[in-house]
Amino acid sequence: MSLPGASAMTSPGSLAAPGAAPDRGVDPVLEIRGLCVDYGFGDDAAHAVADCDLTLGRGRVLGLAGESGSGKSTLAMAAIRLLRSPGVITGGEVLFHPRPASDGEPATTLDLLAAGEQELRAIRWSEIAIVLQSALNALNPVSTIGAQFDELLATHRPGLGRASRRDRAGDLLELVGMTPDRLRSYPHEMSGGMRQRAMIAMALALDPQVMILDEPTTALDVVTQREILEELMGLRDRLGFAALFITHDLSLLVEFADDIAVMYAGRLMERAPAASLFRSPRLPYTYGLLHCFPPMHGERHRMDGIPGSPPDLRDLPPGCAFHPRCQWAIPRCRQDVPKLEPLTGSHREVACWLHRDNATAPPELMRPDPAVAQPRTAAVSDTSAERAV
């Protein structure tokens, strides 16, 4: 894809001064700073997440994209301390900023990586809920949906009586488009879409401030997937939770996320408002990802994709880990690791030497950035048509 009339452009000093981060002005609910995660120890350790910074704004949807194995799930699971062995968190902090108390008193920020098990138990589900790809695995196959709601509510809302718990469970199912009689069903009696809806209802049961959605609809057909995501985003607007939405499918993120972060080989490589990332990617890897998906509309053209495959995380190439696959790599890319840094005059960050110092970026990576919308929160109503680009 090339822009009509565009020519190679030089981007001297295009990196902004520190402090001009795209997250400035966003009220953060979850801040991941310098997160590092390995699988295994010593020379054989796979560096699945390397020095990642990511901020989720209150009421916003942050999409996380990248090829399989890039570290998306590891980042999310480590951030909420649900990482399984042999995963080891080797550095960083994850700050959870609860909403202010009803009397306006600011709540105390908690570093989830330093928190004790008891503090974490109080926060998981109540404040930070998770929906994973496979509801069949997440739901208990030998309990009815009603019994699973009942257990969840009895544990976290001990003041609620049995009848109130049942009413609340029925209301939650209705919220996700199911009838309360489904409380009597076992997971195997429901379709994949219904199970996923039931999981979302359970995740919403305690009115969380953050939802982690790890490929929540990948296993479903495209029609059900879209229905569920549209409902989920409608609920986000009504209930005001923030969502970290992980998927391979950038086209979905463009439609449903406010901002998108792109991960490669354990590192965050680009982050931008969804429309900016989609229409004017600055990173060669993002450009390649966008050209892996055929457009729904417009003229047909050849899909180039990305040559080669992701590197072995135990033996990363020197410099930018993407350089063996990058059509625009320059000598510096083979030596130095680029850091994710803000770009001047935009609400975006990129880790790429082409946008640093006197490097020359190709026209494909210098398309004009569409107008950057003001941060959207749940309080601001917007339609999916307005979101779509």
Ligand X SMILES: Nc1ncnc2c1ncn2[C@@H]1O[C@H](COP(=O)(O)OP(=O)(O)OP(=O)(O)O)[C@@H](O)[C@H]1O
Beta-bridge mates of residue 42: none
Confirm or reject binding of residue 71 to ligand X (CB under 6 A). Answer: yes
70, 73, 217, 346: which one contacts Mg ion (CB under 5 A)?
Answer: 73
Contact 215, 248 (CB under 8 A): yes
Q: Which does 338 bind (CB under 5 to 8 A by kind): ligand SF4, ligand X, Mg ion, none?
A: ligand SF4
* ω into 86 cis (within 30 of 0): yes
Q: Which does 278 bind (CB under 5 to 8 A by kind): ligand X, Mg ion, ligand SF4, none?
A: none
Give dist(CA 265, CA 311) in Å, integer: 7
Q: Which stretch binds ligand SF4 (CB under 6 A): 55-63, 156-164, 215-223, 282-290?
A: 282-290
Confirm or reject binding of residue 346 to Mg ion (CB under 5 A). Answer: no
What are the phi and psi torsion angles at 292 (to 5°)? Answer: -90, -15
Q: Which does 66 bind (CB under 5 to 8 A by kind): ligand X, Mg ion, ligand SF4, none?
A: ligand X
What are the phi and psi torsion angles at 56 (to 5°)? Answer: -105, 120
Give dist(CA 279, CA 366) in Å, integer: 10
* Cα 348–Cα 285–Cα 258 angle in degrees, nearest 5: 40
Q: Which does 69 bind (CB under 5 to 8 A by kind): Mg ion, ligand X, ligand SF4, none?
A: ligand X
User: Smallest distance from the beta carbon of 76 to ligand X, in angstroms?
Assistant: 8
Confirm or reject binding of residue 247 to Mg ion (CB under 5 A). Answer: no
Sequence-ordered list of residues with C-beta below 8 angstroms from that of 93, at least 6 positions apart, any chain: 31, 32, 33, 34, 35, 111, 113, 114
Q: Which stretch binds ligand X (CB under 6 A): 53-61, 62-70, 151-159, 186-194?
A: 62-70
63, 69, 273, 319: which one contacts ligand X (CB under 6 A)?
Answer: 69
Under DSSP, is residue 86 helix (H, G, I), strand (E, B) or coil? Answer: coil
Residue spans of alpha helices (H) in 13-160: 72-79, 117-123, 135-138, 145-156
Classify strands 242-246 and 210-214 as parallel, antiparallel or unpaired: parallel
Q: What is the DSSP letter of 292?
A: T
Confirm or reject binding of residue 197 to ligand X (CB under 6 A). Answer: no
Confirm or reject binding of residue 338 to ligand SF4 (CB under 6 A). Answer: yes
Binding mask 239-278 for ligand SF4 (x = CB under 6 A): ----------------------------------------
Residues 313-342 touching ligand X, rule: CB under 6 A, are 313
Nearer to ligand X, 20 or 45 (CB): 45
Confirm or reject binding of residue 326 to ligand SF4 (CB under 6 A). Answer: yes
Confirm or reject binding of residue 286 to ligand X (CB under 6 A). Answer: no
Contact 69, 267 (CB under 8 A): no
Give dist(CA 67, CA 57) in Å, integer: 24
Nearer to ligand X, 68 or 381 (CB): 68
Q: What is the DSSP letter of 39?
A: E
| Sign of the torsion formed by the C-alpha atoms of 234, 289, 339 and 371 | negative
Binding mask 16-55 for ligand X (x = CB under 6 A): -----------------------x------x-x-------
Q: Could you list the residues that contact ligand X (CB under 6 A)?
A: 39, 46, 48, 66, 68-74, 86, 248, 313
